[in-house]
Amino acid sequence: MKYSLDENQEKIVSHIDGPALVLAGPGSGKTTVLIERTIRLARKIKMPQKILCVTFTNAAAREMEKRFLQSQNETDDNFSQTPVFKTVHSFCNEVIKEYERSVGVKYRRIEGNSGEKRKIFKDLYKEINGEDGEEYIIDKLNDFNKKSNTVLEIKGFRKIMASYDIYKNKYCMIDFDDMITIALGILSSPEKNKLRIREYFCSRFDYIQVDEAQDLTSEQFAIIEMIGKHGNVFVVADDDQSIYGFRGAAPECLFKFQKNFSDCQTYYLSRNYRSVGNIVDYSCKFIAQNKDRFSKNLYSKNIKGPVPRIKCFKNGIKQAEFVCKETKKLLKVNKDTKIGVLYRNNISGLLPRAVFVCEGYNLKCGEDFFKTREMDFLDDIISVMRSMERNCVVVPTPSKMLRTLREEGLSNKLENYCRNSGRNIYYKEILSEFLEFLCMYSGSVKNMVSLLDKIDDKNIISRTSNTCCVELSTVHSSKGLEYDVVFLIDVVRGEFPGRNATVGKALEEERRLFYVAMTRAKESLYVLYPQRRGEESAFITELKKLAAL
């Protein structure tokens, strides 16, 4: 695979020795640059195994290795070995294994999705609080990332976490988060056996490349710098796309990297090959409102295209119907148009998913969509409606049953559900509208159940569908993806940005998340919100001001 590079990209891939920081804007071809530099580096040093390529996810590591091998097959290069492609966690696990071999100890890894970690938290919660924890509480404990430096509003939280650490130490267990801390402790220790391990890894890799460096924690950055004392560290990042603060991501480490390596060369990948001019212009002006960032001059040579379109709707149903209607028009013009429906929180996918299913569309939905527990609550509501159906001589329509339920205090029931399940209170309106939609499109409770099953069936509507042009996704899950047209929905104050992100770092991260959503769009961007759920987001207000400039 021969890559065509522009003049600036060529300059960057030609950087061989010494530290470098590449600030890569959205759609600027950073993966192409990384692969091409890896190939040239391997060709130059003749020993690809001396190159460590660090990525953020296992999928990214596999993709980079695949593209490297493809490129090698298409050239005369015939390396007996390949560069090492790893995530930071995978590398740290290797450091720990080396330590285990050295001292004869064996840690047992706790997999977060195996159920074991969840059971430990379930037992600890009951032991400390004297009662069983709700399922959503145990899930929050199981998913909690210690590096986020936050405290969950969970009864006995600090005691539970302290007891969890004691439990792990007692049984010589480590979990996903521990790998980084333990590996850093090994590499930074002056003890003779640990010093040997650090020297081994420092000498094993002469060159280190880091992708998506804005997502690394301060500990992960310290590990990279420690094994890269030789200075041949090539870091690619975009601080404007750092959206994982809840996992401890520390984009400020990019500034420290420049200072720690005084001879660091800084490059900019500024040309956006993905999006039309207006999307690039508006997104750049939007993100420039953040203070803690590198200043950049991003641009596009593509056509100007339409400006981002902001639309308000009476409610969420009208919003979802608009998205489906516009999608139908777009696909009629070009059946291969790739469309992304993006949102801040998973629950926002319920209504558009329901509308698309009713229209017979085949969808892609991120796996995180199926983590919502609202379906269980909706099943309870439908059970009540079934009971009403059995006890009526003249069977009312689902819409009439819903009116009765509302008169009997459905709103309070929805509100209690949100409180009891740790959900934001605005979920109440989304669930209410979703129920309303189900009733509108169903002639009977039986039809409602059938429709709900179809909406919730990941086997019918799956991520692996090959005939799909429409994808529903949270903005977090859409990072790294691109669509011809993006519908960013539910952009309401208190939802996006979140109600607890009104100032400072929290607001800046929400603005970065919004920026990520904007820059997924290649040709058109719609920013939508339902009036029924409140005022327009502060971000929409900002966009309107930019349009007036």
Between helix 374-390 and helix 427-440 the angle, nearest 10°, is 50
pLDDT of 376 reads: 66
pLDDT of 110 reads: 84
pLDDT of 466 reads: 47
For a pLDDT cut of 90, what percent of the chain falls above it? 40
pLDDT of 290 reads: 93
- Element spanning 22, H or E: strand 20-24
pLDDT of 459 reads: 55
pLDDT of 269 reads: 95
- Note if the pTM is more than 0.75: yes
pLDDT of 413 reads: 83
- DSSP structure string for 50-73: GEEEEESSHHHHHHHHHHHHHHHH
pLDDT of 462 reads: 44
The four Cα atoms 319, 321, 322, 326 give a dihedral, to 10 degrees, of: 150
Mean pLDDT (whole number) for 13-40: 92
21-35, 302-316, 389-403: least confident range: 389-403
Q: Whose structure tokens read 């001019």?
A: 277
Rounded to whole angstroms, the Cα distance separating 133 from 299 reads 51
Contact yes or no for 517/475 (Cβ under 8 A): yes
Question: Please, which pLDDT band fits residue 434 given cuts at 50, 70 and 90?
Answer: confident
Rounded to whole angstroms, the Cα distance separating 14 from 6 reads 12
Please report which residue ranges of 74-208 form alpha helices under DSSP H.
Answer: 88-103, 116-129, 135-143, 157-170, 176-188, 192-204
Does residue 529 surpass a pLDDT of 70? yes
Rounded to whole angstroms, the Cα distance separating 161 from 157 reads 6
Non-local CB neighbours of 295 within 8 Å, separated by 6+ positions: 288
Question: Please, which pLDDT band fits residue 74 given cuts at 50, 70 and 90?
Answer: low
Contact yes or no for 219/89 (Cβ under 8 A): no
Question: Please, which pLDDT band fits residue 458 given cuts at 50, 70 and 90?
Answer: low
Q: Whose structure tokens read 């267990």?
A: 173
The values of phi and psi at residue 379, to 5°, are -60, -40
Mean pLDDT (whole number) for 25-39: 91
pLDDT in tens, 382-423: 777 777 766 665 667 778 888 888 888 888 888 887 777 767
For a pLDDT cut of 70, what percent of the chain falls above it? 91
**SS3 label, residue 549:** coil
Does residue 271 surpass a pLDDT of 90? yes
Query: Rounded mean pLDDT of the chain?
Result: 86
Does residue 484 surpass a pLDDT of 80? yes
Does residue 481 surpass a pLDDT of 60? yes
pLDDT of 112 reads: 65
| Burial call 506-516: b when 16+ CB within 10 Å, e when fewer | ebbbbbbbbbb
pLDDT of 465 reads: 44
Non-local CB neighbours of 150 within 8 Å, separated by 6+ positions: 246
Contact yes or no for 357/365 (Cβ under 8 A): no
pLDDT of 142 reads: 84
pLDDT in tens, 157-199: 889 989 989 998 888 888 888 899 999 999 998 888 889 999 9
Mean pLDDT (whole number) for 71-91: 79
Mean pLDDT (whole number) for 88-115: 86
Does residue 2 surpass a pLDDT of 60? no
